[in-house]
Amino acid sequence: MKSDDLHHPPRILLAKIGLDGHDRGVKVLARAFRDAGMDVIYTGLWQTCEATMHAALQEDVDVVGVSLLSAAHMTVMPELVRLRRDLGIEEIPLVLGGIVPESDHPKLREIGVAAVFNPGSSMDQITETLRALSAARRVPPASALKEGFERRDVRALARTLTALQRDVDLGGWSFPRARSASRVLGITGAPGVGKSSFIARLSRELRGRGRKVAVVCVDPSSPVTGGALLGDRLRMMGQEPDANFFIRSVSSGRVSDGLGPHCEEIVGAMLAFGFDHVLVETVGAGQADVGVRGLADRVLLVLMPESGDSIQFSKAGIMEIADAFVINKADLPGADASLAQLTGVIGADRPAWKTSTMRGEGFADVADWVVGPAGST
């Protein structure tokens, strides 16, 4: 397998750590890496060192790239190196970009930073370095993965998901699952309705009830380069890592219908690892993107105020496959009217709620449905 293969692009996590006030530069880098055929996981502004390295562990990325403009590199990078060692993921290289004096470069490399880039570094130089570092990583043998997985080592789960994504032969090891437990919830809807923020709030509600939650986030791959900007995690991860809340970002590759390669196996592995609920967020979906129905035990369709009328809600396709509905962003005008039109079409057989991620409202009722008799484990 080549690391730049269209099906298995390098996975790069980009982090802004500390109090840097803007992320314009790192967003330019994220788009450039995507256009270079990489899968880029961006975690957003003001992240902590601990949250960043836990994200790297769960995502099992090929490289962690850190953007720093605050002159804190000699504080932040040693802490990242320490956390990497403590988490047992020393094989993941760390690279640094920012305003870093040349005199500090040798010290950084000595403590374990693989590369340092200044504002004058060319994009070609940066991308080639990332490709070389990514190509050097190897998936552990299946026997080691299985042994760690059975010990419930989260590193083994993360690496197993990578093996599944990259078509590594696991020697017949598979993850069959029962379809009757209603533990897999597909969450779909059009772009911009707030699926990621909704999942973050719902997951927080489920975790408050003692449920172990895993999320599979699918974002679209470029049909031109094969790269993807995987931005859902930044709306979900908190400042403090939670061992029972696991997020895995997946690019859609050449799969249509709103899913990505090997989603069935990824979900099966998460269930086998012991998560009570697996939430699958589709790519921003259209009317005919109904593939999640074949993967999930139940499907929740997320809408927003004024996203349709009674005729729109009556159309075939994505409206038909939903077991329940949410009018999200209910703090916006038109939420009550949209809910009334929706319930007038779907009747009383399928529930519908209003939620507001901004205000944190409505999620208890949705969680009741998720963990209730139809969704109990």
Does any domain span residue 150?
Answer: no
Whether residues 74 and 222 share a domain: the answer is: no
Kindly state whether residues 110 and 215 are assigned to the same domain.
no
Out of 74, 105, 135, a domain closes at 135
Contacts of residues 151-158 at CB distance under 8 Å and 24 or more positions apart, as own/partner, are: 152/273, 152/274, 154/57, 154/58, 154/243, 154/246, 155/57, 155/87, 155/88, 155/89, 157/246, 157/269, 157/270, 157/273, 158/57, 158/58, 158/59, 158/60, 158/248
The answer on 131 and 190 residing in a single domain is no
Same domain, yes or no: 209 and 317: yes
* Cα–Cα dist 344/309, whole Å: 10
In a domain, 148, yes or no: no
The domain that holds 230 is classified in CATH as: 3.40.50.300
Looking at the structure of the chain, the number of domains it has is 2
Whether 69 and 191 share a structural domain: no
Of 78, 105, 135, the residue that ends a domain is 135
Q: Are residues 117 and 24 in the same domain?
A: yes
Question: 């997951």: which residue's tokens?
Answer: 203
For residues 98 and 201, state if they share a domain: no
Task: Please check whether residue 3 lies inside any domain of the structure.
Answer: no
**One domain, residues 209 and 102:** no
> In terms of domains, do 204 and 280 share one?
yes
Q: Are residues 79 and 203 in the same domain?
A: no
pLDDT at position 133 is 97
Inside any domain, residue 329: yes
Question: What local confidence, expressed as pLDDT, does residue 138 receive?
Answer: 87
Mark which of 107, 135, 163 sits at the end of a domain.
Answer: 135
The closest of 51, 72, 75, 74 to 64, measured between CA atoms, is 51
| pLDDT at res. 93 | 98
Q: Both 213 and 345 in a single domain?
A: yes
Question: Which domain covers residue 101, as residue numbers?
Answer: 11-135
Say whether both 234 and 352 belong to one domain.
yes
What is this structure's pTM? Answer: 0.92
Per-residue burial over 261-288, b if 16 or more Cβ lie within 10 Å, else e, is: bbbebbbbbbbbbebbbbbbbbbbbeee
**Is residue 154 one of the residues assigned to a domain?**
no
* 173 assigned to some structural domain: no
Tell whether 142 is covered by a domain. Answer: no
CATH no. for residue 105?
A: 3.40.50.280
The answer to whether position 282 is within a domain reads yes
The one-digit pLDDT tens for each residue of the chain (377 residues) are 333 333 589 999 999 998 776 788 889 999 999 999 999 999 988 889 999 999 999 999 999 999 998 789 999 999 999 999 999 999 999 999 998 999 999 999 999 999 999 988 999 999 999 999 999 998 899 999 999 999 999 999 999 999 999 999 999 999 987 666 669 999 999 999 999 999 999 999 999 999 999 999 999 999 999 999 998 898 898 778 899 999 999 999 988 888 999 999 999 999 999 999 999 999 988 777 889 999 999 999 999 998 766 556 766 578 999 999 999 999 999 999 999 999 999 998 999 999 999 999 999 999 999 998 644 54
